[in-house]
Structure 1
């Protein structure tokens, strides 16, 4: 039986303008949070860089950025998903810990 090729079709409809607006709002929210983290660093007397990394593998992007910045320390969070869940979906903090050539501090985040 031959099935004719079809263009991708979805049962979901979306408005490109609404999607663009949502993406813009999310970018603004992330930018604001990064600025807040930067302010906290300065107020605490910590010389550091807060940076947003956009890659398909966040751990890889963080390790690459730390190398480019010649970072002295990587501080990252973990939600403590547990061994089974981490095995299934991976863990950014686990990746960073095992691939960075920089000391890594992992802080447990509240659920």
Structure 2
């Protein structure tokens, strides 16, 4: 989400006419912000980006422009990298939890 902040700002302005970086917007609750974000139309900058990233139709993907293909591939690579890192993160968390439990039980 943070990597898409510029797209979010642009999309809020184009769809809702709201400028996020204003004092007025500070009164918007987190729940309202999430609802507005979830209702983002596919015609916005963020909507177009999400459509490219989530496309599954191989025929549509085959006809992507070079830029769309780059966006699609970058997103898939980021997802693959996170997936590859998750087992390591899980293992580290389990080791930490095990050492904490051992310390609580007098074994550490």
Task: Give the alignment's TM-score, normalised by structure 2.
Answer: 0.26
Structure with the bigger RCO (C-alpha within 8 Å, sep 6+) is 1
Q: Comparing both structures, which one devotes a greater share of its residues to strand?
A: 1
Highest Rg: 1 or 2? 2
